[in-house]
Chain A
């Protein structure tokens, strides 16, 4: 409800944001789409020509694509599993009254603020390094053979590192959701004879369902684009053992200078991300009406 005057002002005030985002979206997107149909290598300037679906065919039939796709799904799925289950348990724990709540809460959230390159390098060197890392020292102390995490289980190690970064996010959101639960509901359930497990299953979990969905969707968006962690730990290797889709496209475009192939991969990544985005947007959109 407003007047003509304020509506005109509103249009004027919103237009810079809209135009900028529109430009940011349309210009590169259409270029990616255009490049994906070209044979275009930065090492061979002036040789660009239209090749139809060739880039897509090459990209999709490249064995590295399947490895990267599998790795992407494992990475996203593994991190989600750890962070959602771990986050729920942690949230339940931190929701109880105990001494030093504020400090523990701060310690639990902290990893989320650590920049990806730092956390990846710290885990790689200070913990997972078989010679000087803490895990190596621990194995030595226990009389075990040190385990070279990043070369023997590269993907699992990266899942571990990324989970450490995202566990605080899941915990924080689930804790917030838990604290918004009406205490009287729990007390009513208790009066009705529900035990702790039943209260969790019938009252808390349904209440958390929405927050869990939000955690899953938002993390998926970010996890699909994991890049820095791979770059500084394994460079995608050994072989393609820890290459995800983002990293594969990065290698194709900026290391092999194959703009056409990289662009085709980019289009595929966009399509995959959009599938997730549609679900997320629907959830957020529903919330907007409330």
Chain B
């Protein structure tokens, strides 16, 4: 049970309007990711849902009940913070027990839930340590443990992985996804990393300057971005955007083509250019091509890792017209 509805929600800090009127429904059991560049309002939106900030107008409903003026504690939501926000003066056990203590859960029930959470999160051996004695990944698990034991209606994650190193981040990502599968509880996850968004989400909400640019499943956003912003934000490496003469031949103000949707040839093709930098990842190579008559921005092209390309080579490119995106003067999809 964790359906969250935002109805014409706005937020302004003094004169500054951070969130213009916004509608959003998060279904029970969904894994929803809010993604966008920094300052897009995604964290503010999460804090509004959490109740850590007041909405300036509009209504937030959790399971149909109006939660707009409810204090955070009564909303039945659990939050995992970017800094983990563990209580440094309490042991891991006490940290995890804290929300239950506040809620007056009986001692033996507390113990049962702590033990099962610790087991699920591999924390059993660390229960009597202080947060200061744990690694980043372990602290993250404690924060998640503290959220789980409350058995909340929904989990809120505020950039939980951004303080971890790259390898650990991939692991924790998988663990959080596992957790979602096993609990089937609504999760709202805020990140600026589109890879996290793509890999984890059932539904992605792309935000820019407080506005929802697009809502959809990862593949919907990948295949049919509503506008240039979503097109270039989702997908890695970034989609190539081409303006001017070339775009006009497709009847658009600008066209977008992903690096993986361009065929490369050494002797013939629609466009031609010169190889600049080539990034060899082993499995793939990303070639930056300076296209002739296609503006100053190089095009990024994904080619097979074995293809021999060198700086200065002349190269021909052919876009897959099926997967070519066309945008109008306002940047909207045609």
Q: State the A residues within 8 Å of B (CB).
A: 1-5
Contact = CB atoms under 8 A, between A and B. Distances in A.
A3 B47 CA distance: 10
Contacts of B71: 3, 5
B51 A1 contact: no
B52 interface: yes
A3 B50 CA distance: 11
Interface of B: 13, 47, 51-54, 71
By secondary structure, the A interface counts as loop
Contacts of B52: 1-3
B52 to A, nearest CB: 7
Contacts of B13: 1
For A1, A2, A3, A4, which residue has the most chain B Cβ atoms within 10 angstroms?
Answer: A3
Contacts of B53: 1-3
By secondary structure, the B interface counts as loop
Nearest to A5: B71
Nearest to B47: A1
A257 B53 CA distance: 59
A226 B51 CA distance: 53
B51 to A, nearest CB: 7
A182 to B, nearest CB: 26
Nearest first, the 6 closest Cβ-Cβ pairs linking A and B are: A3-B54, A4-B54, A3-B53, A5-B71, A1-B53, A3-B52
For B51, B52, B54, B71, which residue has the most chain A Cβ atoms within 10 angstroms?
Answer: B54
A5 to B, nearest CB: 6
Nearest to B72: A3
B56 to A, nearest CB: 11
A189 B53 CA distance: 49
A34 B248 CA distance: 84
Contacts of B47: 1
8 contacts: A1-B47, A1-B53, A2-B53, A3-B51, A3-B52, A3-B53, A3-B54, A4-B54
A284 B211 CA distance: 40
Contacts of A3: 51-54, 71
A3 B51 CA distance: 8
Contacts of A4: 54
For A1, A2, A4, which residue has the most chain B Cβ atoms within 10 angstroms?
Answer: A1
A1 B53 CA distance: 7
Contacts of A5: 71
A4 B48 CA distance: 12
Contacts of A1: 13, 47, 52-53
A2 B13 CA distance: 10
Nearest to A7: B54
A176 B52 CA distance: 39
B224 to A, nearest CB: 36
Given A1-B47, A2-B52, A3-B51, 9 more contacts: A1-B13, A1-B52, A1-B53, A2-B53, A3-B52, A3-B53, A3-B54, A4-B54, A5-B71
A5 B51 CA distance: 10
A150 B71 CA distance: 68
A16 to B, nearest CB: 24
A3 B52 CA distance: 6
